[in-house]
Amino acid sequence: MPKTLILVGHPDLVHSGTQTFLKEVATTLTDTTWWDVTTQPVDTSTQIARLQGEMRRYDRLIFQFPLYWYSMPGVFKQWLDTVWTTPFVYGRAGEQPPLASKELGLVVTFSQAPDSYRLGGREHFSLSELMRPLDALAQAAQMTMLPIFPIAQFAYMTERERQHLLVTYAQYLSLPARAHFSDRVAWFQQWLTQNAGQHPEYAAWAAALQSQQDELADLHDTLEQMRQDEEQNGRIE
Amino acid sequence: MPKTLILVGHPDLVHSGTQTFLKEVATTLTDTTWWDVTTQPVDTSTQIARLQGEMRRYDRLIFQFPLYWYSMPGVFKQWLDTVWTTPFVYGRAGEQPPLASKELGLVVTFSQAPDSYRLGGREHFSLSELMRPLDALAQAAQMTMLPIFPIAQFAYMTERERQHLLVTYAQYLSLPARAHFSDRVAWFQQWLTQNAGQHPEYAAWAAALQSQQDELADLHDTLEQMRQDEEQNGRIE
């Protein structure tokens, strides 16, 4: 499992229901660290060097932020301008960039409908287009981009949708990239077992998963086919 | 001529040679105002409302900034997040957006070579791609985007290149969009005359321009054809 560092840049973190929810999920995971970048002191080069040294210890960095005018909030960008110095991104002459081969994930929250960000949608541009500057940064640092993890309209989610978000977000943080379905099931089983203390029903679910791996694999194939059909019909971006 | 407001967002404005140069050019122009957004107080809603009211008085807004990690500096973005509130961009229910039909220009400075920002170039992405978030903002506000005005490697420019920058930048600020060549010549002539006080040689140039309008038009057509040929050969992005 990758060691993951979540860098959260939110101008009003304590009042964000979405971020509070995500933080609760993140704390259930081992090998996952949560940073609120807006409260970090970054006034001296020693403080900056310490943060850079910390970041090098992780395999996966996550930039997590609400979309403000189609990009990351200014407070996060300012942290990035300050802490991600030129030698930290490109490496010193003759050395590999410090973040080379690490993964960069983006968890982007917004209040518009999920299908707003696409050609012909309300916001015209896709998140992939709007995140180009961060993609360019990842390329400069020789990092590998993970697919964007969008979270639309958290406030309107049903309990069931939040449960789904909980699991997929936890997987985004801790599953190896390009994990196969069987890896996901194994991960989910382990996660259920770990959290069965607080949620007794999880133990039964984990046992059910164990006995139904084959059926689940079949089910997965069917669902995957349906998803692909739907994509071709253009209902999902 | 449009009334133009230049919004400069630079973390260290006084030490920027590029910005000092551009400010000198801007101050020679009538109907052009220069804001350093990083020093504006934006702590109260009254201060923000006053800035919003000011911006509505102009025809053309210019965002002017150095490229920091492929986008505007955090300090500028933070100002934008604070001052460009949702009702200021979208308008209140049933009203037109306050900035509708105004122009938005981008003056982007960077230290890389001019041809770095393009497919296959050192920075992979074009400025047009990297500025998508600001294009999306302009669309939300129903503003009209002007072509980006890039300034590459100001520190390495020759005196002649700086003279050229001086004139093209002044035109970017004050010429009507899609001005024809004859408009540009007329503008240049007027500008030379206005600035002849400090630069006596300008008066003679203005007179020469007057007597050579036709020749210049021919010359322009030839140059334009050469430029188009060159574009088709892919030497200019």
Higher pLDDT, B174 or B207: B174
Say whether pLDDT at A233 is over 70.
no
Of A11, A71, A140, the CB nearest to B133: A71
Chain B interface, best mutation among A71, A122, A127, A128, by max B CB count within 10 A: A71
**What pLDDT, on the 0 to 100 scale, is given for residue A237?**
46
pLDDT in tens, A124-166: 999 999 999 999 999 999 999 999 999 999 999 999 999 999 9
Say whether pLDDT at A77 is over 70.
yes
pLDDT in tens, B97-156: 999 999 999 999 999 999 999 999 999 999 999 999 999 999 999 999 999 999 999 999
Beta-carbon separation of B139 and A133 below 8 A: no
* Residue pair B27/B66 in contact by the 8 Å Cβ criterion: no
CB < 8 Å to A73, chain B: 77-78, 81
List of domains in chain A: 4-178 (3.40.50.360), 180-237 (no CATH)
Q: What is the DSSP letter of A50?
A: H
pLDDT in tens, A197-228: 888 888 887 887 777 766 766 777 777 777 77
Average pLDDT over residues B62-85: 98
* Residue pair B165/B122 in contact by the 8 Å Cβ criterion: no
pLDDT in tens, B4-36: 999 999 999 999 999 999 999 999 898 999 999
pLDDT in tens, B171-181: 999 999 888 87
The one-letter amino acid at A39: T
pLDDT in tens, B38-52: 999 999 999 999 999
In this complex, is the C-beta atom of B87 within 8 Å of any C-beta atom belonging to chain A? no
Q: What element of type H or E holds B162?
A: helix B159-174
- Please state the ipTM of this predicted complex: 0.87
* Residue pair A52/A87 in contact by the 8 Å Cβ criterion: no
Say whether pLDDT at A180 is over 90.
no
**What pLDDT, on the 0 to 100 scale, is given for residue B237?**
46
Beta-carbon separation of B76 and A74 below 8 A: yes
Of A123, A133, A139, the CB nearest to B71: A133
Task: Give the dihedral of Cα atoms B100, B101, B102, B103; nearest 10 deg.
Answer: 120
Higher pLDDT, B55 or A215: B55
Query: Measured on CA atoms in the order A225, A226, A229, A231, is the torsion positive or negative?
Result: negative
Chain B residue with the nearest C-alpha to that of A82: B74
